[in-house]
Amino acid sequence: MKNLAQKVGEALLAKGMKLATAESCTGGWVAQAVTAVPGSSHWFDCGFVSYSNTAKQKMLGVDLAVLEQSGAVSEPVVAQMAEGALRNSEAGIAVAISGIAGPDSDVGRKPVGTVWFAWAIAGHPTVTCLSFFNGDRDEIRQQAVEQALEGVMAYLPH
């Protein structure tokens, strides 16, 4: 994962951009992965860990009605998380993650391993992605971190 985070950093530096993260199920793991890279202060701005719905509202401006209607693990919520991280930071790109890492599911509606991602860049449409991961809690979270970083690489302007 450190190699992937380093590649993300090199790509961000080349674009003159900084990254912000908005994490729920990964609990700051993306931010930890990127700050493990020496020199990350040149390309990482900040991370928001918004585990509760209240934190998603207060820190990132996620709409309560959207949370209530769609649930925290949903496309509209993760898109608002990424857009809120971008709005509340000095970053040029933001990634957001919200998912169910287990061991319990979302009251039977969404299975363990369900993870929504969003990537936002000012002036561009926010991109979202739904993934389903297998494994235990840590394995699901690790896979989510890797996909989040891979998505940053894919979404950066070429």
pLDDT along the chain (158 residues), means of 10: 92 98 98 98 98 98 97 98 98 98 77 97 96 97 98 93
Q: What local confidence, expressed as pLDDT, does residue 50 receive?
A: 98
Domain ranges of the chain: 2-155
**77 contacts 96 by C-beta, under 8 angstroms:** no
Q: Topology of domain 2-155, per CATH?
A: Maf protein (3.90.950)
Write down the pLDDT at residue 105: 73
pLDDT of residue 154: 97
The DSSP 8-state label assigned to residue 21 in this structure reads: E
